[in-house]
């Protein structure tokens, strides 16, 4: 009997110890924060539509990005309040000052302006009069700089926010012969682009197309109404940017017999640019094949805003609030991930919710299994209010179902049923006046916060 009692006590102690250990492990999961290194790659003008993550029928234009995020969260419906670079400014503003150091994070690079990386002994070719240096992306020195910083700080928590404007128009990277985008084009496609570059003045009938491709200021000679007395090439370039927004020039191009071929070529050049960018990112992304970095670094790749390629007879960004301009491709890979592959998050997500989540990682830590629940539960996701850069077109998007647009330029009100019409082609305002009225009231009440934000670029409609 005594032996049985002793045996029972021993079993009880063993079971109790196991239960205590399990309870302890659960307490670790709940209470002990994980504070990994954080690297956010923000890619300007990145179209979600070009990634096979979002469309399985799409060719793989970015194999290195695909490999890095093969086991990650892919967010299908992230939207911005702005269709231009204010997202970058907004993002960095949330982490400025002593916020990161006070939470134990070393800052690798938190300034998206190209001037932060010096390109030694660079001079433009004598016959090129393209966009100013701010918009010519010599990203190799910047990526090398960031890579070295990552390697130097891999054993302590670092926070890196790297903004790259390489995908921004003009889409052709024609100043760097060693990494030209045209290797991804067929000989026929390359020849068509070369003709356009060699005689830009002949492109008057397709000026928006030529501008989006080359950004060549010599095009001003063909458009007297866009000439400017300003010597500053930055201002002259943005004068040219309005060619992408001007409906009369767009209509003239659309009336040409070659319009469809031009548009197809424009998209192929954009996709070639994406492949070129992916190639440039390869060495830095390959750092995450190193065991120490793989185990300790949270990597986020996101667009800064979308980009229109004539889905609604528009080019570029900033000029409207359609989804192709406001949609952000976003991929999140946790360190030591347990995901077997890509996990799609299909809920509507506000870009500010990503910032809220990252701030939580910085301050208290975060575990992978909490990601979806915490991100989707953010109350800021339900209604997303947005505006264009000139603040005369506004929208509110409700739960991936309804989108109301108030266009003060055309003096019209639009309502789209996104479940039936994800391409925003059919205005159902008259069929659902009560939905439109409720959304207009919400939009009116929540516009003041957006109206406080000004745009540093002189875009106009």
Q: Give the tens place of pLDDT for each residue, 247-291.
A: 888 999 999 999 999 999 999 999 999 998 999 899 989 988 888
Max Cα–Cα distance, the chain, nearest Å:
107
- Tell me the mean pLDDT in the region 395-419: 96
The per-residue pLDDT for 124 is: 45
Per-residue confidence band for 162, with pLDDT thresholds at 50, 70 and 90: confident
- The string of pLDDT tens digits covering residues 423-455 is 999 999 999 999 999 999 999 999 887 766 655
Specify burial of residue 392 (Cβ count, 10 A radius: 0-12, 13-18, 19+).
middle
**Per-residue pLDDT tens over the stretch 25-48:** 444 444 334 789 999 999 989 999
Q: What was the pLDDT predicted at 171?
A: 84
Using the predicted structure, report yes or no on whether residue 309 has a pLDDT greater than 80.
Answer: yes
Q: Which of 6-10, 198-202, 279-283, 436-440 has the lowest mean pLDDT?
A: 6-10
Q: For the CA atoms of the chain, what is the radius of gyration?
A: 25
Cβ-contact 83, 320 below 8 angstroms: yes
- Residue 79 belongs to what H/E stretch? strand 73-79
Q: What is the pLDDT at residue 391?
A: 85
Does 459 have pLDDT greater than 70? no
Q: What is the pLDDT of residue 236?
A: 67
pLDDT of 9 > 80? The answer is no
Mean pLDDT over residues 175-194, rounded? Answer: 74
Total-model pTM: 0.86
Token reading at 109: 């690079």
Q: What is the rounded distance in angstroms from the CA atom of residue 324 to the CA atom of residue 79?
A: 10
Using one digit for the tens of pLDDT, what is the confidence trace for 212-221? 887 777 776 7
């Amino acid at each position: 009997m005594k032996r049985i009692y002793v045996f029972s006590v021993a079993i009880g102690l063993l079971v109790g110890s196991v239960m205590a250990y399990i309870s302890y492990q659960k307490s670790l999961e709940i209470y002990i924060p994980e504070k990994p290194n954080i690297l956010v790659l923000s890619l300007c003008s990145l179209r979600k539509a070009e990634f096979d993550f979002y469309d399985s029928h799409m060719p793989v234009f970015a194999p290195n990005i695909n490999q890095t995020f093969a086991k990650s969260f892919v967010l299908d419906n992230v939207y911005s309040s702005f269709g231009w670079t204010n997202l970058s400014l907004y993002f960095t503003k949330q982490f400025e000052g002593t916020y990161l150091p006070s939470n134990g994070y070393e800052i690798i690079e938190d300034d998206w302006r190209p001037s932060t990386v010096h390109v030694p002994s660079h001079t433009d070719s004598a016959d090129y009069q393209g966009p100013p240096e701010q918009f010519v992306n010599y990203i190799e020195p910047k990526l090398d700089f960031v890579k070295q910083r990552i390697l130097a700080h891999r054993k302590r928590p670092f926070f890196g926010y790297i903004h790259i404007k390489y995908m921004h128009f003009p889409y052709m990277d024609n100043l760097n012969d060693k990494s030209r985008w045209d290797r991804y084009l067929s000989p026929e496609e390359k020849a068509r682009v070369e003709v356009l570059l060699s005689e830009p003045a002949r492109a008057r009938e397709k000026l928006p197309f030529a501008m989006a491709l080359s950004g060549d200021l010599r095009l001003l000679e063909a458009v007297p109404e866009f000439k400017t007395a300003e010597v500053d090439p930055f201002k002259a370039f943005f004068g040219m940017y309005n060619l992408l927004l001007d409906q009369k020039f767009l209509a003239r191009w659309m009336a040409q017999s070659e319009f469809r071929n031009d548009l197809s070529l424009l998209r192929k050049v954009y996709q070639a640019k994406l492949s070129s960018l992916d190639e440039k990112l390869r060495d830095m992304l390959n750092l995450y094949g190193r065991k120490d970095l793989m185990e300790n670094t949270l990597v986020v790749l996101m667009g800064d805003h979308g980009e229109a390629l004539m889905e609604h007879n528009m080019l570029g960004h900033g000029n409207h609030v359609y989804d192709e301009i406001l949609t952000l491709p976003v991929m999140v890979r946790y360190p030591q991930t347990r995901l077997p592959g890509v996990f799609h998050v299909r809920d509507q997500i506000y870009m500010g919710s990503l910032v809220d989540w990252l701030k939580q990682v910085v301050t208290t830590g975060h575990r992978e299994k909490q990601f979806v629940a915490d991100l989707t539960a953010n109350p800021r996701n339900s209604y997303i209010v947005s505006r264009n850069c000139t603040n005369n077109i506004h929208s509110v998007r409700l739960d991936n179902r309804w989108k109301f647009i108030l266009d003060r330029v055309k003096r019209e009100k639009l309502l789209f049923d996104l479940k039936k019409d994800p391409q925003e082609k059919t205005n159902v305002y008259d069929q659902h006046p009560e939905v439109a009225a409720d959304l207009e009231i919400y939009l009116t009440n929540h516009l003041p916060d957006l109206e406080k934000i000004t745009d540093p670029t002189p875009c106009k409609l």
